[in-house]
Amino acid sequence: MSKVPSITFNNGLHIPIFGLGTWKSQLGQVTQAVKDAIDIGYRHIDCAYIYGNEKEVGEALDTKFQQGVVKREDIFITSKLWNTFHKPELVEGALKETLQNLRLEYLDLYLIHWPQAYKEHGELFPKDEQGNIQFSDVDYIDTWKVMEKLVAKGLVKSIGLSNFNKRQIERVLKIATVKPANLQIECHPYLNQKRLINYCKSVGISVTAYSPLGSPDRPWAKPGEPLLMEDQKLKDLAVKYKKTPAQVLLRYQVQRGIVTIPKSVTKSRIQENFSIFDFELKPEDIDYIDTFDCNGRFCPMTASLGHPHHPFENDEF
Ligand SMILES: NC(=O)C1=CN([C@@H]2O[C@H](COP(=O)(O)OP(=O)(O)OC[C@H]3O[C@@H](n4cnc5c(N)ncnc54)[C@H](OP(=O)(O)O)[C@@H]3O)[C@@H](O)[C@H]2O)C=CC1
Ligand SMILES: CC(=O)C(C)=O
pTM: 0.98
18: phi then psi, degrees, rounded to nearest 5 = -140, 135
In angstroms, the CA 63 to CA 137 distance is 41
- Does 269 contact ligand 1 (Cβ within 6 A)? yes
Distance, CA 35 to ligand 2 centroid (Å)?
23
Q: Whose CA is nearest to atom 1 of ligand 2?
A: 23
How far from 218 is each of 91, 211, 287, CA to CA, in Å? 27, 9, 28
- Does 163 contact ligand 1 (Cβ within 6 A)? yes
In angstroms, the CA 101 to CA 58 distance is 6
Distance, CA 89 to ligand 1 centroid (Å)?
32
Neighbours of 268 (CB within 10 A): 9
| Residue 1, pLDDT score | 57
Task: From the CA of 23, give the closest atom in ligand 2.
Answer: 1
Q: Whose CA is nearest to atom 3 of ligand 2?
A: 23
Q: Closest-lying ligand to the alpha carbon of 214?
A: 1
Q: Which residues line ligand 2 (CB under 6 A)?
A: 23, 48, 50, 113, 299
| Residue 3, pLDDT score | 82
Residue 1, judged by CB atoms within 10 A of its CB (0-12, 13-18, 19+), counts as: exposed
Residue 283, judged by CB atoms within 10 A of its CB (0-12, 13-18, 19+), counts as: exposed
Q: Closest-lying ligand to the alpha carbon of 269?
A: 1
* pLDDT tens sequence across 118-162: 999 999 999 999 999 999 999 999 999 999 999 999 999 999 999
Distance, CA 105 to ligand 1 centroid (Å)?
27
* Beta-bridge partners for 183: 161, 207
Task: From the CA of 210, give the closest atom in ligand 1.
Answer: 8
In angstroms, the CA 12 to CA 122 distance is 38
Distance, CA 242 to ligand 2 centroid (Å)?
32
From 50, 83, 111, mutation site for ligand 2 pocket: most ligand atoms within 8 A of C-beta: 50
Which segments of 9-75 are extended strands (E)? Answer: 14-16, 20-21, 44-46
249: phi then psi, degrees, rounded to nearest 5 = -60, -40
Distance, CA 216 to ligand 1 centroid (Å)?
7
C-alpha triplet 161, 158, 302: angle, nearest 5°: 20
Helix-then-strand count for the chain, H and E? 10, 10
- Written as one letter, the residue type at 77 is I
Q: Whose CA is nearest to atom 6 of ligand 2?
A: 113
Distance, CA 22 to ligand 1 centroid (Å)?
8
What domains, with CATH codes, occur in the chain? 15-304 (3.20.20.100)
Residues of the chain scoring pLDDT < 50:
none
Task: From the CA of 213, give the closest atom in ligand 1.
Answer: 17
| HSE, side-chain direction, 13 A CA sphere, residue 85 | 21
Q: Whose CA is nearest to atom 45 of ligand 1?
A: 21
Which helix or strand (DSSP H or E) is residue 98 part of?
Answer: helix 88-102
Which helix or strand (DSSP H or E) is residue 58 part of?
Answer: helix 54-66
For helices 267-274 and 30-40, angle between their N-to-C axes, nearest 10 degrees: 40
In angstroms, the CA 147 to CA 164 distance is 15
In angstroms, the CA 259 to CA 156 distance is 19
Active site residues: 51
What interface predicted TM-score (ipTM) does this complex get? 0.99
282: phi then psi, degrees, rounded to nearest 5 = -70, 145
In angstroms, the CA 153 to CA 157 distance is 9
| HSE, side-chain direction, 13 A CA sphere, residue 269 | 13
CB 260 within 8 A of CB 18: yes
